[in-house]
Amino acid sequence: MLHLHSHSRQQWLLQVDQFLPEVLIDHAHCERKAASTAMSLMNAYVVNRALARAMTVIVQEELEHYELVLQLLERRHIKFCLQKPSAYGKQLHALIRQAEPQRVVDRLLVASLIEARSCERFDLLSKHVRQSDPELADFYASLFESEARHHTTYVALAEDYAPRSEVRLRLKELAEAEANILENDQPVVRMHS
């Protein structure tokens, strides 16, 4: 369903145990950036009514998630701050082709894969901390469904711009690249590292 080409490594979960506050701060930034991505797609393809409608919903949901993560940080007395992001987003965005309509297809598919990876990791995290931190487990379980829906929405919108078979092929290529990006060790522990 999520079209990912790899499972997250156990190593990532172990690192999260060690650096949980940093990962939670990064998660807040991810939600903010997800809202910004949806807004920028809406602005770039303003005449696509279906896209505008879908992006309106996603912007609102991501901003709600952003606020929820910020509240979680406050409850835990974790100071929200600027942070060096992992190279993941930058490396994925570098794969976007420049000419239209390939560009819009890639932008939508890259967004769909980021949503899919978030979704996979929220599920892993939720299960991992179920006993030790039920509040966090419930929080991540509650976000899973909407991020899965965002993934599906982005893939469906890409099919407005290219035949389904082409979209699926490109999704497969980008998913392979996404898995490779995560294979390489990142110097920082993040939601996507």
Query: In the complex, which residues of this chain contact Fe ion (CB under 5 A)?
Result: 31, 34, 62, 65, 115, 147, 150
Residue nearer to Fe ion on the CB measure, 52 or 166:
52
Closest CA to 143 of 62, 74, 80: 62
HSE, CB side, 13 Å, CA atoms: give it for residue 74. Answer: 6
CB of 31 to Fe ion, least distance (A): 5
The label of the residue with tokens 């899965």 reads: 148
CB of 165 to Fe ion, least distance (A): 26
Tell me, what DSSP letter sits at residue 100? T
Residue nearer to Fe ion on the CB measure, 65 or 128:
65
Residue nearer to Fe ion on the CB measure, 123 or 147:
147
- Please tell me the distance from the alpha carbon of residue 154 to that of residue 14, in angstroms, as a whole number: 31
CB of 58 to Fe ion, least distance (A): 6
Counting Cβ atoms within 10 Å, is residue 190 exposed (0-12), middle (13-18) or buried (19+)? Answer: buried
CB of 147 to Fe ion, least distance (A): 4
Residue nearer to Fe ion on the CB measure, 150 or 192:
150
Cβ–Cβ under 8 Å, residues 124 and 13: yes
